[in-house]
Structure 1
Amino acid sequence: MSATTVIIAPPPTPNGNLHVGHIAGPYLAGDVHARYLRADGRPVIFTTGTDDSQTYVVASAAKLGTTPQDLCALSAKQIEHTLGVMGISIDGFAPFDDGYRQTALDFLTELHAAGRLRLRTGTFPYLERTGEFLMEGLVAGDCPVCLAESRGGLCESCGHPNNFAELINPRSTIDPTEPVAFREAEILVLPMEEYRDQLAAYHENQGAGWRPNLVQLFKEVLSRPLPDFPITFPTGWGIPAPFPETPGQVLNAWAEGMAASMYCTWWAAGDRAAATDEAWRAEHSAKLVYFLGFDNGYFWGGTHLALLMAHNGKYILPDTIVCNEFYELEHEKFSTSKGHVVWAEDLVNEVPRDLIRFYLSLTCPENQRTNFSRAAFEQITSERLVTPWNLLSERLGKRLDDVRPAGPLPTSAEGRARAAAMEERFRTCYELSSYSLARAADLIISQVQRLSRDAADAEPGDLLLETRTLLSCAAPILIDVAEQAREAGVALGLHGEPADEIPPFRLPLIATPLRTTS
């Protein structure tokens, strides 16, 4: 049996629900790969949770007039529900509970005991009136690398880290009119320069084939001194840090990332007797894959990686990071505050989710920013998926009506060869070395068109075999039409060697683009 693949989609910050931009990024991509692996008979654990320690929760709660605790509780329920209605097939949605907290504390306390952490003096933006240090989601300014607007810690535009005092014209995100000063504080850090050689070797050997923007980011990052990575912060929101050098401080939410992912994996695996980091231990040789947005790339491919390395071979390292760019709405950035947003839950209540999953796959931001347009969504799903798919269903039904088969129909060598070629093309889209949802969705289009075009003259057995192969290969994206076929007795799966005979079946229709709402 092959090693288990652990798929991580970064835990979303629970400061609101998920919009279609979120789904079009790591969650749909991770889901499709997980479904592909399951169909291929390979063991997989696909998981996520929520990232409650982020200071973005504090900033959002202040704007909404609620408490961070209440916002986390509400948002976590909304996020889990939205993942479910979108068909994101996580094996478990881990809670932010005492087990999570203890896993994070154990992971970092072990490094502290081994002398891997250092006490450093950092300079932070500071509000004199309230006595608050500002970091992460509590401070905004201009990025010192690309000059775009940035939050503290990391720039979403260029992906480079900044350690707060480097921001140009810093301001509070809660009250931008409040004067910002600077004050020093002693914090514990992971000295990233001590892991330079390991990180450089990893990215040269493991990351060379990743998507170009992430590859370029680490070429730039590794060409200059690596900033220390804060493990603790002098703020009140987060898990209290247990280290005697930093009394009253909390853990940096980003320092929890690897422990959080371990806990999510443990929760999803379901073996409550196992240690929460068991699946990540090196002796089990699991394959670790991250699906994430470019804005998280530095942490997951840099600081998180160094934290794993600091445990001296105890844990697996990621085999692959599949990174996506930003997804826009009508060619503008999604903005909840401005009402420029399409909530995934609302959209799935209006239109069949297979259409949403297909369109998001076709337009997903794999290598550059792409766009969700409601008009384009309706036109493309109707013209390129629903109409030709349902025409194929009609023509397949007519061929079966013509021959009235009493049992399984034979397939020809030529038909089996075409089915095998089709499956192989889909595999190139779903395997990580050449992973592409956009090409998979486009391949669905081309194969539906081909089969529909040739249906009248095709041998019925060959047409059935190739249609079943299409259904099986499209199933990770078109989950509902595939389920309809399974319920009707169609044996879907990645079959390898195509069968020399096949039972007759009817191809389920795909619902029309717009559903009448009550």
Structure 2
Amino acid sequence: MRWLLIPMQPTPNGRLHIGHGGGPYLRADVIARALRRDGEHVEIISGSDAYENWVLADGLATGRTPEQTCAVYHAGIKSDLDRLGVELNLWVDPLSAEHNSGYVHVQERLLSTLSDSGRAELFTERVPLGVESGRPLMGVWIAGECPNCGAAAGGNSCTACSDSFSPDLLRNPRSRLTNEQITWVDRPNWFAPAPRAVLEALAATGLPGQFQVPVQTFLDRKGARIRLSLPGEWGVPSSLAPTDSVLSNTYYGYSVYCGQLYSDLRSGVGNALDRDSGVTVVGLFGSDNSIAGLVAPQVLAVGTAFKAFDHTVINHMLHFEGRKCSTSQQHGIWIEDVIDKTNVSSDELRYCLTQIPLDRNVSDIDTGRIVTTVNRLRVWRTATLGPVLEALKPGASTPTAPVELRAALERQQQYLRPPVVDLVDATDVLTDWMFKRDPQHCETEAVAEWLLGVALLGAPILPILAGQLWTELGLPGVPSRSVLNHAVQLSRTSAGLDLRMHTPLNAEDIAGIAR
């Protein structure tokens, strides 16, 4: 089976904190590694959301142009993903010479197709303008209270209830970055109406009921529609946009472009989002982007040659010590700081993040939990894995039919195959295998099976450890479930697997990098 995973593109207005990293990007990587381990073909393609107007705020503080801001953080975000062990097949910069013309063409072609078929229309909307600047206060420039739940909200979405709305629906709207007063004017822009049939189509993809709630709220609103252009100067440039507007940089349009790049990776295959492509395409994003990730693809795919996502994987928001991780509020822990300024490894950070139940609900992590989780893994590595590996007898073989390991892999697989994804349950399967067995007092075959299980079950979550252990056991390539088709003879080699006791992580180490 062929898969394309498209985690929603991050805005290049800052580096990645653990809320970003532990959300769609880690999920995409864990899912991809699990599917590949099980013999399937998987690509991950994403890139930076360079045309999102939230990049403009950086220039107020630094004096950088939007292009300069995007260049700095496009590279920085990729570096952060590397630090977390997230492996991408392609990382796209829509502003680059390599991608810009093709990217803009895809966004324009979508609008042209929709307008020609009558599925996109020019609607006159009320637009907030700054009285002093004359600037359209859209996206980064406006804030207020969510019209659905009343929580503080910026731009056009609410992180508390996942609603999405036009600026004229904000309660108590204000200029977010300046103190200027607001005046309202009428402007035409492109929109695509969102029919109620969208909800039924999403349910058919296996979307959990809890994530259908914001969709229902959005569709119940009179005149529910998807924005395709917006007032302002920063966005996808196009002659198709009304005067003083730009095209919206839709996640779905971005995904269609990623589907086209997939065709380049897999020569002879069409766009992965072609209706008959045979590729299972999965969108991954945070719950605050529910309308962009759920409703928009269903609306925009109709009347085109493309399909919506086959499945979606959505995570709730991560809080650090009681408050939502936030770039604009500079609250949380940044991946760069964890890896570069402490002795926490990529695997250890992943092991912490995969145990936070973001697939189920808004969740919190604190310094104490990070320290406890990391130190527990370090003790296990030295006190259990090391002695078992050292005691492995030359030529030890796994059972011909490793029943327990097969069962554990089946359990883990059911949590890492979209549409069903639960990183906590998947990690629990690994943790149970690691901690709830006593391999040091087992027969040789059982010891060999346990070591093989650590490598196979650990591959999606602890990829560095799993890969090194796999090589240490004398096995070729990367961890693959195919070895279970027959008894496996293990021959100990030296692969640089570090089994020394590391200095325990202290709370002060994490507190020192928290913001």
Shared fold per TM-score greater than 0.5? yes
* Maintained 8 Å contact 1:288/1:319: yes
Report the counterpart of residue 224 of structure 2 in structure 1. 227
**Residue 334 of structure 1, CA deviation:** 2.2
Contact 1:15 1:72 in 2 (8 A): yes
The answer for the alignment partner of 1:424 in structure 2 is 410
- Which residue is equivalent to 1:181? 183
Instruction: Indicate the SS of the match to 2:5.
Output: strand
Q: How does 1:456-475 map to 2 (within 5 A)?
A: 456=441, 458-475=442-459
Aligned partner letter, 2:6: I
Q: Secondary structure at the match of 1:181?
A: strand
Q: Which residue of 1 aligns with 2:513?
A: none
SS at 1:153's partner residue? coil
Where 2:173 maps in the other structure, the secondary structure is: strand
Q: Which amino acid aligns with 1:481?
A: L
SS in 2 for 1:386: helix
Greater Cα shift, 107-116 or 82-91: 107-116
**Which AA in structure 2 matches 1:409?**
S
- Cα 1:340/1:187, change in 2 over 3 Å: closer
Q: Report what 2:307 is aligned to.
A: 316
Q: 1:241 aligns with which of 238, 241, 265?
A: 238
Structural mapping, 1:391-410, within 5 Å = 391-397=383-389, 399-400=391-392, 404-405=393-394, 407-409=395-397
User: Within 1, Cα distance between the matches of 2:498 and 2:28?
Assistant: 26
Percent of pairs identical after alignment? 24
Distance 1:498 1:388, change over 3 A: farther
Give the direction of change, closer, same or farther, for the CA distance of 1:510–1:297 in structure 2 (3 Å limit).
farther
Unpaired segments ≥5 residues, structure 2? 95-99, 510-515
Could you tell me how far apart the structure 2 residues matched to 1:133 and 1:338 are? 23
Equivalence for 1:86: 84
TM-score between both structures, scaled by the size of structure 1? 0.89
**TM-score, length-scaled by structure 2:** 0.89
CA drift at 1:496: 7.3
- Cα distance in 2 for residues equivalent to 1:267 and 1:130: 40
- Structure 1 residues 150 and 258: alpha-carbon distance in aligned structure 2, compared to 1, 3 A threshold: same
Decide which of 161, 164, 167 is 1:161's aligned counterpart: 164
| 2:464 is the alignment partner of 1:493 | no
Residues 267, 514 of structure 1: CA spacing in aligned structure 2 closer, same or farther, 3 A cutoff?
farther
The answer to whether structure 1 residue 105 and structure 2 residue 100 are counterparts is no
Contact 1:93/1:264 (8 A) holds in 2: no
Q: For 1:264 and 1:421, how far apart are their aligned partners in 2? A: 36
Q: Which one of the candidate residues 4, 7, 26 is aligned to 2:5?
A: 7
Q: Check conservation: 1:327, 1:333, Cα contact below 8 A.
A: yes
Instruction: Give, in angstroms, the shift of residue 430 of structure 1.
Output: 1.6
User: Secondary structure in 2 aligned to 1:281?
Assistant: coil
Partner of 1:380: 373
* Amino acid of the structure 1 residue aligned with 2:75: K
1:132 shift after superposition: 1.7
Report the Cα distance in structure 1 between the residues aligned to 2:13 and 2:410, rounded to whole angstroms: 41
What's the Cα RMSD here? 2.5
| Paired residue secondary structure (1:280) | coil
One-letter amino acid matched to 2:292: F
Report if aligned partners of 1:420, 1:498 keep a CA contact under 8 Å in 2. no
For these two proteins, the number of residue pairs brought into alignment is: 494
Where do 5+ consecutive residues of structure 1 fail to align?
A: none
Match of 1:503 in 2: 490
**Counterpart-to-counterpart distance in 1, 2:168 and 2:499:** 54
Superposed CA deviations along residues 26-45 of structure 1, whole A, max 9, x for unmatched, are: 00011100111111121112
Alignment match, 1:455: 440
Distance 2:160 2:47 in 1: 25
Could you tell me how far apart the structure 2 residues matched to 1:272 and 1:286 are? 11
CA distance in 2, matches of 1:273, 1:109: 27
Code of the aligned partner of 2:17:
H
Q: Residues 219-257 of structure 1: CA distance to partner in whole angstroms, max 9, x if unpaired? A: 33334435232222221111223227x23421123xx32
Where does 1:60-75 land on structure 2 (aligned, <5 Å)?
60-75=58-73
Q: 1:291 — aligned with what?
A: 284
